[in-house]
Structure 1
């Protein structure tokens, strides 16, 4: 055993008596210095996820430190930091929180601090809104908040300031774009600030640029086409939009819906059949999280997983078990549907994705677009039925007479009309016109982040940012100037994004 000498002890006493500090006890080892910062791990959601519905995003993760985590906080985008509640688990602390996204890009940062002030941060980014869309013969994509368009431009639907077609994508003079919706010959964009911008065809007032009538004053409806994006008056709290063939739907941050445009079948949902060139409220809808538009019908998904429809019902479009030629000018719930998490609408058929990864469909089925294994004249489906052969689906898209289903593995399946190769399965022509059940589509593509269906073509955006198109190429609809015009391309080709 080590012993101090008596001289050392005497020196220590003298030092202490003179007001000095005693020397350290060499028998006690020095305290270890904490040099290790905490570690933060976010387990969900995955990075670069695209959100299709306006709902809270749940984040989960853990934080650990060799001496213990003293404080946890989080912030969304440029918001203030907030305390993050957590629970003790083996190896650290577990946390979860729910955040409401804004339109466009979102980032959540989680910060951990230990007792001595070491700090670590981890973040995850995701996007709310459609990054790619397709209309009659035009397409668009959002990249870094900028919008690029290409294709047919007879009504100024490209937003380029003229009516000249573009065979390769060109940027539109509209910044901070969060989400887009194209259909027929019209286009709509929602910016990050919640404003709505429209351009293209406007014969029925579907751009929403008119002013509401004033009692006692005459007015002329605004039905003039626009070749540049123009802001829709009065809308500053939008989160997403959808287009029918000649009408528009806008979802507001409070979960209500406004509509404008053609209304001959009550597709605006305002209780009338009068066309509106300005936004009017859709009656009775609250807690809406997504919208879809068809030829003359409208569809809404609410937070509780139910689906509401209004407008045309000539082919059982409304899923009520009947068909008729009456106008249905107010939303009605589709019976028998529950746990729906995504919706899409073609010309006269509707798709509904369930939380278990299966898909229901109803409406016109002449080309097998309902996916129930049948097709042909008189095969309309008036109430929801399951699409044959589909499981593990995470998103759906539709237009005209076909549908697309994105699976969890990032691959795409399709069903319905394929005369122009719009299913992307390598087949086209009269012998492949109808695919009445789901099968693998878009050969050779995987890791898809977002998809869109046009009238006779489709787009798939990969997670690495590359965009591909397939189907009918006319006036540059596939965004690649090396392709033959007015020709079918039943396998994916690269869209030439800058």
Structure 2
């Protein structure tokens, strides 16, 4: 959760700016109202010259130097000064009008500006000297000379300077910063595991481009060779081994003209002969070799520690790597994709193969994106991809968050988008009280999406005493402003460990800490030593309902399809729903009160709304009285 100010302050700012909202679960096609913006005036999204896709959001650079983003905004990664559920339209990033480049990661994004500076926004290590998040762009420290390339990974980011050197910031434990160390100067989760400001990558002075992945990074040099560093457990670095590297290591691939590192352990490059070469993880056939097997095994899964040619590609001009699939732009301006296809990622207008990778659908060989022509640029997200066409507009396919794009959906923009003012703290709300929500989520160590339910678990308690949760899915407490909370867990028999997340920072002894300077959402994931506890397809997300304002009322819910426990809230409550569930919420004011609007991860002024759950969410009903 990324609320920079207390919840009611943001509600007040949203209310005063007359903001509307989307209804959840969209992806840039203009089929619902835009999140946290005034009533949308739908317009064609044109004059796009560059594009980048991340976990569940994407951003595009227009020829006028503005950045426009769409998709998930729970982490503030759309850069509109607020965090909310989703935007189905492209919305303008606040305060940027001179951008020359853009890159989107898992939960934050960055733009390089014409004056040489770099701005970042969202949730993560933004490079501005702390690990605090920001829903509006903030300036990265120590970069003032021209940058020629920028790339945001899972939890780190890198830029190429005009001098040919590279600077990176973010997590450092796997060596992804490339400065010769597996540690940083700052502390995010454990001591010295990250760097809040950019550090220089060692031994590189002729970089042309850089690509940041999950916990690894690769750079293309002026002599068309490639250097990679960071995590290498799945052959990520292409160095014929699985040893992590804290400094750039040479890759066998040469005569490379362009590269793309995926967010899940593989990299692909285009060479001077217009072939595509890939290496790394191959569990989902993302290497494009005609199989999801071998030639080597990394842990329990197939991989390649060296570059392999993608079958049937000999006219590529550009490649884009998602976490588990890859797409290539060909000389005839068509696109072919391969890898996982559970959500239509390969663009064959189907989510059923043509091949099978374990429990998942996939395409072993490059498959033509049906109906897509005149493409000039390409970007791949988690389960979706987008392309710029010769008309300088954007078309997408696959699934973003809980929304599946119609066939080659053209992105629309909200032409009413204006820079929203930063929220001004409300003196009454600044002193609290604040809401602390603790929820159990799926096992983060599970590498698969087999959908098996497991038995790992445990209880959660807090100091001071406020949270008591024995094998429950979610609980909450209301605490005073600036209360320092320590959360502890007692593991069930057979459960090995717990991973804390969300707004909680892991501490010694399996505990977690959080300071209540605003509303906080913490998660706990228990691990039982197997890969079957609440795996991805069985994941549930918690929807928490709160109410505010001088009036009173209740909130009830239905789901489509029917699943989970219905909400009937006279006070704060939380319910767990399956991934991608569409939850209809209805706010009913009590006698003498009236419903004003929704806020938090929901929005709008109609009493009944729908939210598509792709993450833990908090929705607040605002009631007023005469």
What TM-score, normalized to structure 1? 0.67
Q: Which residue of 2 aligns with 1:330?
A: 247
- What SS does structure 1 have at the residue aligned with 2:58? strand
Q: Which residue of 2 aligns with 1:241?
A: 150
Shift of 1:452: 0.6
Which structure is higher in RCO with an 8 Å CA cutoff and minimum separation 6? 2
Query: Retained in 2: the 8 A contact 1:256–1:285?
Result: yes
For 1:5-59, what per-residue CA distance to the aligned partner results, in whole angstroms no more than 9, with x for missing partners?
xxxxxxxxxxxxxxxxxxxxxxxxxxxxxxxxxxxxxxxxxxxxxxxxxxxxxxx
1:345 aligns with 2:266: no
1:422 is matched with which residue: 316, 336, 345? 345
1:225 is matched with which residue: 122, 133, 139? 133
1:209 aligns with 2:209: no
CA distance in 2, matches of 1:317, 1:273: 16
What TM-score, normalized to structure 2? 0.53
Q: Which residue of 1 aligns with 2:578?
A: none
CA distance in 2, matches of 1:381, 1:172: 39
CA distance in 2, matches of 1:141, 1:314: 32
Q: Which residue of 2 aligns with 1:179?
A: 101
Q: Which residue of 1 aligns with 2:78?
A: 158
1:407 aligns with 2:335: no
Query: Retained in 1: the 8 A contact 2:354–2:363?
Result: no
Q: Which residue of 1 aligns with 2:199?
A: 280
Q: Which residue of 2 aligns with 1:436?
A: 364
Aligned residues: 341
For 1:313-333, what per-residue CA distance to the aligned partner results, in whole angstroms no more than 9, with x for missing partners?
111111111224xx3100011
CA distance in 1, matches of 2:203, 2:81: 38
Query: Retained in 2: the 8 A contact 1:425–1:490?
Result: no
CA distance in 2, matches of 1:487, 1:142: 23
CA distance in 2, matches of 1:187, 1:473: 16
Q: Unaligned stretches of 5+ in structure 2?
A: 1-47, 184-193, 294-299, 356-360, 416-626
Q: Which residue of 1 aligns with 2:51?
A: 132
CA distance in 1, matches of 2:137, 2:309: 39
1:168 aligns with 2:89: yes
For 1:363-394, what per-residue CA distance to the aligned partner results, in whole angstroms no more than 9, with x for missing partners?
00000001111105632111011010101111
CA distance in 1, matches of 2:238, 2:175: 16
Q: Which residue of 1 aligns with 2:379?
A: 452
Q: Which residue of 1 aligns with 2:309?
A: 386
Q: Which residue of 2 aligns with 1:67?
A: none
Q: Unaligned stretches of 5+ in structure 1?
A: 1-128, 211-221, 475-485
Shift of 1:430: 6.3
CA distance in 2, matches of 1:357, 1:188: 29
Query: Retained in 2: the 8 A contact 1:420–1:490?
Result: no
Shift of 1:130: 6.9
Shift of 1:437: 1.8
Pick the structure with greater CA Rg: 1
Question: Structure 1 430/355 Cα, relative in aligned 2: closer, same or farther at 3 Å?
Answer: closer
Shift of 1:463: 1.2
CA distance in 2, matches of 1:396, 1:130: 17
Shift of 1:261: 0.1
Shift of 1:246: 0.4
- What SS does structure 2 have at the residue aligned with 1:471? strand
Structure 1 segment 21-420 matched on structure 2, within 5 A = 131-144=50-63, 145-164=65-84, 165-173=86-94, 174-202=96-124, 205=125, 207-210=126-129, 222-237=130-145, 238-274=147-183, 275-324=194-243, 327-335=244-252, 337-346=253-262, 347-375=264-292, 378-420=301-343
Higher mean Cα deviation, 303-312 or 163-172?
163-172
Shift of 1:283: 0.3
CA distance in 1, matches of 2:273, 2:406: 30
- What SS does structure 2 have at the residue aligned with 1:278? strand
Shift of 1:429: 3.7
- What SS does structure 1 have at the residue aligned with 2:408? strand
Q: How large is the RMSD of aligned CA atoms in angstroms? A: 1.6
CA distance in 2, matches of 1:270, 1:139: 29
Query: Retained in 2: the 8 A contact 1:301–1:342?
Result: yes
CA distance in 1, matches of 2:377, 2:391: 11
CA distance in 2, matches of 1:375, 1:487: 27
CA distance in 1, matches of 2:340, 2:53: 17
CA distance in 2, matches of 1:200, 1:265: 22
For 1:255-291, what per-residue CA distance to the aligned partner results, in whole angstroms no more than 9, with x for missing partners?
1000000111100001112210100000001211011
CA distance in 1, matches of 2:208, 2:350: 36
- What SS does structure 2 have at the residue aligned with 1:491? coil
- What SS does structure 1 have at the residue aligned with 2:405? strand
Shift of 1:134: 1.1
Deviating 4+ runs (over 4 angstroms): none
Query: Retained in 2: the 8 A contact 1:425–1:491?
Result: no
Query: Retained in 1: the 8 A contact 2:279–2:306?
Result: yes
CA distance in 2, matches of 1:306, 1:239: 18
For 1:115-149, what per-residue CA distance to the aligned partner results, in whole angstroms no more than 9, with x for missing partners?
xxxxxxxxxxxxxx971111111111112221111
